[in-house]
Amino acid sequence: MNWRVFQGSARGGHHIDQNIPCQDYIYYQTHNQLLCAVVCDGAGSASLSDQGAAFFAEHITKKLISRVDHGPYSIEELTPIIEECIAEVRDELTATLSPEHTLRDYAATVVGCLMSSQGGCFFHIGDGFGVYQLANQPAVLSLPENGEYASETFFVTGDDWKAHLRLTLLPSPEAGTYWGLMSDGAATFAIDKQRTGFFPAFINPVLDYLKKVDETAGSAALLNLLESPKTTAITSDDKTLFLATLTE
């Protein structure tokens, strides 16, 4: 498989105004024919959430890609592997904590994807979106999970993280398949109002442009889009978008 990967992560207007670091983080790795990517969105109420987002995104990705073989997959096969990897990352971060901090200070959501030639899966804790699009077929989505209030969600640092871990199996990709991961900030303009997939007026021009450029130029353009006044006017939240396209 020949996946082309594009990514961007930008601070929202609120964090720019207050000179606060971006609390989103994206990390991916490839190994043989396996691609793994994770987007983490740090909790605004947690003092070290930017560090937590980076730690969980990087370490979960590295552990999973070293332990998962090519598909086809099943929920029964993948669930214990993903749970074990996340538990180990939580333990590793806990072991580094100073006395004045707790795991909750690093609170972050997780939305990730494992993909091989035989299919893959989304894995998800909290908000954000995963979207998998085969040509001329309805998108397969991993939707956000919110609590009683729209602004409430769940974090990988919570004691109940395992109860909120959700897996969604994905079919084998074909030429022209694309998929994306995003934080809830990017979802405000990248997802359609019915929450059935990407917003066509957003994604179609993006995909058309990405076909014409290499990964470096495409990622730079994606970052410019996320940092643009237009998207900043739509949401004051940090915005992260990861896209993987399978070439013809």
- CATH number, domain at 54? 3.60.40.10
pLDDT of residue 71: 74
Distances (CA, A) of 103 to 46, 64, 90, 164: 10, 21, 8, 17
How is residue 120 annotated by DSSP? E
Number of domains in the chain: 1
DSSP letters spanning 66-126: HH--SS---HHHHHHHHHHHHHHHHHHHHHT--TT--GGGG-EEEEEEEEETTEEEEEEES
pLDDT band of 206, cuts 50, 70, 90:
very high
pLDDT band of 2, cuts 50, 70, 90:
confident
Q: Indicate if the pLDDT at residue 99 is higher than 70.
A: yes
Query: Within a 10 A sphere around the Cβ of 5, how many other Cβ atoms?
Result: 15
* SS3 state of residue 78: helix
246 near 207, Cβ under 8 Å?
no
Token couple for 241: 């978008």
Q: Could you tell me the pTM of the whole model?
A: 0.94
Summarize the confidence of residues 106-115 as an average pLDDT: 97
Tell me the average pLDDT of the chain.
92
Domain that holds residue 119: 3-246
Residues in a beta bridge with 36: 29, 114
- Report the C-alpha gap between 10 and 16 in whole angstroms: 10
